[in-house]
Amino acid sequence: MRKFPAIPRSPKEARARTARKLKALRRRNFDVLHEIAGYWDDGPIGSEIDTLVRDLDAAIDAVEGAVDEELARMDEEGNLL
C-alpha cells in the first residue's frame, strides 16, 4: 500500500513541495513527449507534440502563478506562517 507524504506544516513548505513536483512534471512531460516524437519523422506529429509541450508548460506556469498569488493573499491577510 502506498504511503502518502505528511501534510506540509506551512504554506511556504507547501509551495516548495508544489514547485518540486511541477518541475518534475515538466521534465517528465518533455522527456516522454520527445521520446514519442522520435518514433516519427518530422511532420504533423512532431509539430503537435511541440504544441502540446508548449501548452503543458503554459499550464504549469499558470499553476505556479496561482500558488504565488495565493501566498501573497495569505501574507496580506496575516495568515502566512
Domain contains 2 = no
Taking only the tens place, the pLDDT of each residue in 13-70 is 889 999 999 999 999 999 999 899 889 888 899 899 999 999 999 999 999 999 999 9
Q: What pLDDT does 57 receive? A: 95
Residue 17 lies in a domain: no
Number of folded domains in the chain?
1
What is the per-residue pLDDT for 26? Answer: 94
Handedness of CA 52, 54, 56, 59 (dihedral sign): negative
Position 54 in a domain: yes
Is 13 among the domain residues? no
- For residue 8, the model assigns a pLDDT of 78
Does residue 43 fall inside a structural domain? yes
8 in any annotated domain: no
What range defines the domain where residue 32 resides? 23-77
Radius of gyration in angstroms for the set of CA atoms belonging to the chain, rounded to a whole number: 17
What nine digits make up the cell of 72?
501573497
Please check whether residue 10 lies inside any domain of the structure: no
